[in-house]
């Protein structure tokens, strides 16, 4: 049976949180690289990913490398959960099949853009908070929104600017998320399909990993200018004299005027270092969870668990067979859907038979 929309949302959101825990330090570096030297020409404090991480660690400790982590959790769960959830629902509704033809690719990209726009509306407040917290402590930034906690920062925005304050930078964040979603989801499907058709490998972790890295590269290039502009719009000070930037177009013009075209691509290496592994890790979580936890939802599983005292043959088709309920499990690799689901249906899932609920 197909996955429900709520299952798509939860599975994609939790996998994204697992990925962002590892990549958040690089995200901190990315944000600071994008904000340093804002509208001016001068020597850079942060010159690269490794140098920046070491400098931040020496001056701010581990907490400095994980600034904005809880805001990043909220961002990833809301944004990625909505993106993948809406994308899967729309793809099923319009019967769009993955493939590498032009029509299939454009259809996937269009659905990705729509789901990304919807996700941007939900997650903009959390991207704003994440960007501001990651900028705190930077040695080269025009403004810092210093707050003692995520809760106090959230309240201060509402008290000072009202509901509109949570959507500062939305005009750049929507195209950022739309571009990222459209390119990631369409190129992921296309890359995986090409790998499967052009090689002899079967669908599994290796194909998902390769397709994810390729889609991550495409996503980084597509969203980089929007990402940088969104960060600067969200971190700019709001004073009586007015905002530093009137909007995304004005921000782009001022960057080109004062920093050149390369200013729009500040932090792109860190952006891919963050997004490449993130893209590779996020889809693998729901794929693996679907194979093992939800065996009747998706593609044929390749992993299963079996009691050490049972064999593949004795487990198949016996939904109540459980000779050693306390015996520790061992991980085995199955060669087919039937053998995996047959064993999953008995020792560890007595209420399941061949992957179907009894």
Which structural domains are found in the chain, ordered by start? 5-286 (1.50.40.10), 303-357 (no CATH)
Please give the helix or strand (H or E) that residue 115 lies within, else none: helix 102-135
Please give the helix or strand (H or E) that residue 282 lies within, else none: helix 268-292
Q: What is the pLDDT of residue 191?
A: 81
Q: How far is CA 111 from CA 89, 92, 105, 179, 291, in A?
A: 10, 11, 10, 11, 25
**pLDDT tens-digit map of 237-288:** 876 566 889 999 999 999 999 999 999 999 999 999 987 766 665 544 445 4
Mean pLDDT of 90-107: 76
**pLDDT tens-digit map of 290-312:** 444 444 433 333 333 333 333 33
Q: What is the pLDDT of residue 13?
A: 64
Q: Which residues does residue 242 pair with via DSSP β-bridges, in sequence order? A: 239
Q: Which residues does residue 356 pair with via DSSP β-bridges, in sequence order? A: 353
For the question of whether the overall pTM of this predicted structure is more than 0.85, the answer is no
Contact 169, 234 (CB under 8 A): yes
**pLDDT tens-digit map of 266-276:** 999 999 998 77
Mean pLDDT over each residue of the chain, to the nearest integer: 76
Q: What would the two tokens of residue 120 be?
A: 């941007």
Please report which confidence band the pLDDT of residue 14 belongs to, taking 50, 70 and 90 as the band edges: confident
Contact residues for 30 (Cβ-Cβ < 8 A; gap 6+) = 267, 270, 271, 274
């Amino acid at each position: 049976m197909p996955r429900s929309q709520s299952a798509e949302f939860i599975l994609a959101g939790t996998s994204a949180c697992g990925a962002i825990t590892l990549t958040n330090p690089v995200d901190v570096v990315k944000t600071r690289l994008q904000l340093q030297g804002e509208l001016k020409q001068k020597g850079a404090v942060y010159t690269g990913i490794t140098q920046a991480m070491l400098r931040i660690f020496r001056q701010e400790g581990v907490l400095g490398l994980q600034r904005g982590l809880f805001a990043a959790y909220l961002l990833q769960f809301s944004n990625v959960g909505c993106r993948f959830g809406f994308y899967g629902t729309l793809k099923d509704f319009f019967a769009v099949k993955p493939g590498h033809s032009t029509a299939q690719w454009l259809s996937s990209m269009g659905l990705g853009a729509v789901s990304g726009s919807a996700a941007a509306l939900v997650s903009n407040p959390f991207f704003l908070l994440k960007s501001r917290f990651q900028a705190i402590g930077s040695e080269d930034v025009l403004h810092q929104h210093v707050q003692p906690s995520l809760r106090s920062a959230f309240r201060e925005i509402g008290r000072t600017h009202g509901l509109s304050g949570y959507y500062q930078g939305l005009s750049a964040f929507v195209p950022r998320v739309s571009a990222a979603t459209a390119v990631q989801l369409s190129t992921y499907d296309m890359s995986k399909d090409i790998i499967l058709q052009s090689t002899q490998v079967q669908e599994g972790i290796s194909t998902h990993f390769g397709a994810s890295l390729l889609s991550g590269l495409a996503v980084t290039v597509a969203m980089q200018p929007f990402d940088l502009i969104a960060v600067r719009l969200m971190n700019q000070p709001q004073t009586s004299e007015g905002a530093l930037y009137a909007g995304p177009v004005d921000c782009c013009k001022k960057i080109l005027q004062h920093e050149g075209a390369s200013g729009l691509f500040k932090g792109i290496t860190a952006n891919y270092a963050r997004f490449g592994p993130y893209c590779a890790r996020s889809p693998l979580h729901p794929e693996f969870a679907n194979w093992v936890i939800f065996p009747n939802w998706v593609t044929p599983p390749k992993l299963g668990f079996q009691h050490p005292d049972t064999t593949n043959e004795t487990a198949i088709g016996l939904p109540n067979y459980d000779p050693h309920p306390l015996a520790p499990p061992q991980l085995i690799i199955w060669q087919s859907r039937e053998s995996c689901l047959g064993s999953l249906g008995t020792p560890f899932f007595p209420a399941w038979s061949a992957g179907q609920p009894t």
